[in-house]
Structure 1
Amino acid sequence: MAKIKNVFVCQNCGYETPKWIGKCPSCDSWNSMAEEQKNTAQDFQRAVTISSGNKPKSILNIKSSEYERFDTGISELNRVLGGGLVRGSLTLISGDPGIGKSTLLLQSASNISKKYGKVLYVSGEESEEQIKMRGDRLEVNASELYILSETNIDVIEEHVNEIQPIFVIIDSIQTLFKTSLTSAPGSVSQVRECSSDLMRLGKTKNIPFFIVAHVTKQGELAGPRVLEHMVDTVLSFEGERTEEFRILRTIKNRFGTTSEIGVFEMVNEGLKEITDPSRVFLEESSTTKEGAVVIGVMEGTRPILVEIQALVSETKAVMPRRTAVGVDNSRLNLILAVLEKKLRIPFYNCDVYVNVVGGLNIDGTYGDLGLAMALISSIKGKELSIEKSLIIGEVGLTAEVRPVSYCDRLVNEGMKMGFKNVVIPYRNREKVSVKDANVILVSSLKEALNKVFK
């Protein structure tokens, strides 16, 4: 007879304990323990039956599926995935409620079904009629797109075996359940077991799966961390529901880079691709005003120009505020410390606010010099003396301006957008050869200050 015992499992990280405790010792979350039944004999049997009987092969004799990717019909999604959807892959997509996850997947499902064949869209949150209503709004009219409203993983597997789709979408993993488990849908055990079944089904039948996952209030993936380890790709859909632009990022990708992003605009007809993000982010540029500077950043292989704005105002508070949107707070504090120490510009009695226009989050050090110039422009109340200028460079702790990679691509993007003046690090001079632009070389913050604010 199978041995069944009750354990308490943390719903955030999956930590197990035989007794209830108020605080999880693994993730330090309170009141996250839920009682579940554990069947050790059944778990062992399931682990044994997953084996497919494959034998070791030489890597030279294994056929690569790199060139057998599905074209989703959405170039921005293909870019983030690394060139398309790999056969037999599991892709996890997360984002805030109402951000557009289901809309993006329904659009891609329609495109794939028209080009390749049957696609199954499984929803545990909406009925078939509700999905049809959204499909009518998005003008989805694919005859090979099948809709199923179901939450039982065993029933879903039966339908997959019956219609033999080439692509399956699960919306969402937190609504699925397995009848052999006593825990509620969305619990650690249910999410782990349902994900294992989907992985087995996708790998054995060479079917790519797209899985939607919920997020917590902090913006992290809900459920056990093992879910991220099991899948091949993890995508994050970012943006504010009140804003029109959406950013699709890659957190994990076994088939491509994790530095690419996709930019979309939410319209009445669904998500619209933005193939030229620089033009969108600089559509209402106000670089002629104090505290506004245009910088260049690299998102994967794509150069993007964005406007960064700074506001510095004197305060009587003991602890001045440091608020940054789109810029890492620690990076902002580092730039402020360098400006105070090396250039003797006092920020200790000022509130500092920094914002990246368009909702883009800047990673890396491409915007250090531009951020410093924006802060100086705001605290001095002066505009940049160089009109229509692009500023690129990293700032070190000794106030030197260090070179950045792909500077030539950023400068070429600036020329395409109509920028005639470019401020770049001196050590990047050999890689940048532009005839129609005024290239200003700087090697330190003090030199940049003297050339930008004449």
Structure 2
Amino acid sequence: MAKAKSAFVCTECGSEFRKWQGQCTSCQEWNTLSEIRLSPARPGAGAATSERSGYAGALSREVVDLGGVDLSDVPRLSSTFDEFDRVLGGGLVPGSAVLLGGHPGAGKSTLLLQVACKLAQQRTVIYVTGEESLSQVAMRAHRLQLATQGLKMLAETSVEIILAVAERERPDVLIIDSIQTTHLEDIASAPGGVAQVRESAAALTRFAKQSHTVLLLVGHVTKDGALAGPKVLEHMIDASLLLEGDADSRFRTLRGQKNRFGAVNELGVFAMLEHGLKEVKNPSAIFLSRGEELSPGSLVMVVWEGTRPLLVEVQALLDDSPLGNPRRVAVGLDQNRLAMLLAVLHRHGGLFTGDQDVFLNVVGGVKVLETSADLAVLLAVVSSLQNRPLPKELVVFGEVGLSGEIRPVPSGQERIVEAAKHGFTRAIVPRGNAPRQSPPGLEVVAVDKLADALEAL
């Protein structure tokens, strides 16, 4: 009997090595290599499998002109949730593989069960559960008051059986909850391991591509918030979505981390209610629910999420530090960028915060990943430092450079229009984003330097 070959795969970057080593030379991480078994390929196995499965001719082997490809044969399939469709780039694409990740309790299974029950009224949907029994899923659907007629359920973890059922039923949508529980009989490792997750996802994705089935995979996350399993899993799929939200918060944010069919970093907002997740049509109004009393350190900024502007509130709190090394805590913002902005404030604004503990928070659990929040963060810090509240009608955005200059940000006109729609009367923006004609009722103050913005307050 021939000896089974093996390889070692890094769970962080997906790099392969012939033998085990303590450090991955590609991403420089330690103790991340896991062994996978490599089964030898049988001659003609791929062709035999395609003919047996009825997929012969599903993938074209002819060279065609890209301009002559007919896109009318690939219509979008609505998920029945506008926010979900927005993050996907317009809806589900037949033959695509979508990975949905999130912390336990974030609402992954709830969201997909709602989507499956609504789609099952018009399409053929198979929901495969590997973590719960059929009675548990039925109890959740009953609690959410969902229409369960027409939804086909399967409690199975074997990929071979799942593919056999899918070939017989030919569903339009196939949901796997979750990919960490599935396994292949030929792989000699436990479910959830690197080899099982990689090969199971590859087999399911291959079926989706050849049969034009929408494949939705549920993935677990690690304690760091990253998707569990090998990094190569993200290279196999077409879209990677992350459902975020604290257990004590009623709001959930769905963010696209990878999308071959739409914009990356698109954001969808949901509210967790008694009857499941409900989409929030106007998230800016939710994040702007501020109190009547003015408080120092509170300011509204306009960030750009995917294809739309979003108004969120940033809060800053400064306090005398009893420590030799004052704390810098940022929730929803980059902590390293906060340290840089405080240095710019000292050098070009003349305000010293080296003896202060600085705490920053973005209201609503939103994570701001762009630099347009720089100016708003600094003005909120100044407001808390001097214990002077800022006007509620003020909105701010702009990037701050190391020399104290205020740089323009993309989509500045759309941000200003969004602020005017929500009743703001004054905006401090970079001069490069200043419009030729301000919207009615909104005073736009254009600034070039950080000193100009401090003077405009």
TM over 0.5: yes
Matched, 1:399 2:404: yes
> Helix, strand or coil for the counterpart of 2:441?
coil
Matched, 1:381 2:387: yes
Matched pairs, number: 450
Q: CA deviation at 1:41?
A: 3.9
Does the Cα contact within 8 Å between 1:167 and 1:209 map onto a contact in 2? Answer: yes
Q: 1:278 aligns with which of 274, 280, 284?
A: 284
Does the Cα contact within 8 Å between 2:100 and 2:243 map onto a contact in 1? Answer: yes
Counterparts of 1:429 and 1:238 in 2: how far apart (Å)? 34
Letter in 1 for 2:211: K
> Helix, strand or coil for the counterpart of 2:435?
helix
- Corresponding residue of 1:345: 351
- Corresponding residue of 1:161: 167
Q: CA deviation at 1:13?
A: 5.2
Change (3 A) 1:48 1:327: farther
Letter in 2 for 1:291: G
Q: 2:68 aligns with which of 49, 61, 66?
A: 61
- Corresponding residue of 2:422: 417
**What runs of 5+ residues in structure 2 fail to find an aligned partner?**
51-57
Matched, 1:92 2:99: yes
Q: CA deviation at 1:392?
A: 2.0
- Corresponding residue of 1:441: 446
Moved more, 418-427 or 213-222: 418-427
Counterparts of 1:431 and 1:147 in 2: how far apart (Å)? 58
Letter in 2 for 1:220: A
TM-score, scaled relative to structure 2: 0.92
Moved more, 199-208 or 19-28: 19-28
> Helix, strand or coil for the counterpart of 1:320?
coil
Matched, 1:38 2:45: no
Q: CA deviation at 1:27?
A: 5.3
Change (3 A) 1:70 1:354: same
Q: 2:111 aligns with which of 101, 104, 110?
A: 104
- Corresponding residue of 1:450: 455
Counterparts of 1:360 and 1:285 in 2: how far apart (Å)? 19
Counterparts of 1:422 and 1:249 in 2: how far apart (Å)? 28
Letter in 2 for 1:201: F
Counterparts of 2:218 and 2:437 in 1: how far apart (Å)? 43
Q: 1:248 aligns with which of 247, 254, 278?
A: 254
- Corresponding residue of 1:114: 121
TM-score, scaled relative to structure 1: 0.92
Counterparts of 2:402 and 2:361 in 1: how far apart (Å)? 23
- Corresponding residue of 1:129: 135
Counterparts of 2:30 and 2:270 in 1: how far apart (Å)? 37
Does the Cα contact within 8 Å between 2:35 and 2:195 map onto a contact in 1? Answer: no
Change (3 A) 1:415 1:67: farther
**What runs of 5+ residues in structure 1 fail to find an aligned partner?**
none
Counterparts of 2:392 and 2:252 in 1: how far apart (Å)? 30
Change (3 A) 1:388 1:7: closer
Q: CA deviation at 1:438?
A: 2.4
Q: CA deviation at 1:129?
A: 0.7
Matched, 1:238 2:240: no
Counterparts of 2:410 and 2:23 in 1: how far apart (Å)? 45
Counterparts of 1:137 and 1:325 in 2: how far apart (Å)? 34
Q: CA deviation at 1:444?
A: 1.9
Does the Cα contact within 8 Å between 1:2 and 1:41 map onto a contact in 2? Answer: no
> Helix, strand or coil for the counterpart of 2:87?
helix
Cα displacement string for residues 271-304 of structure 1 (whole angstroms, at most 9, x for unaligned residues): 0101101100011356821111111111122111
Counterparts of 2:453 and 2:226 in 1: how far apart (Å)? 40
Alpha-carbon RMSD: 2.4
Moved more, 337-346 or 311-320: 311-320
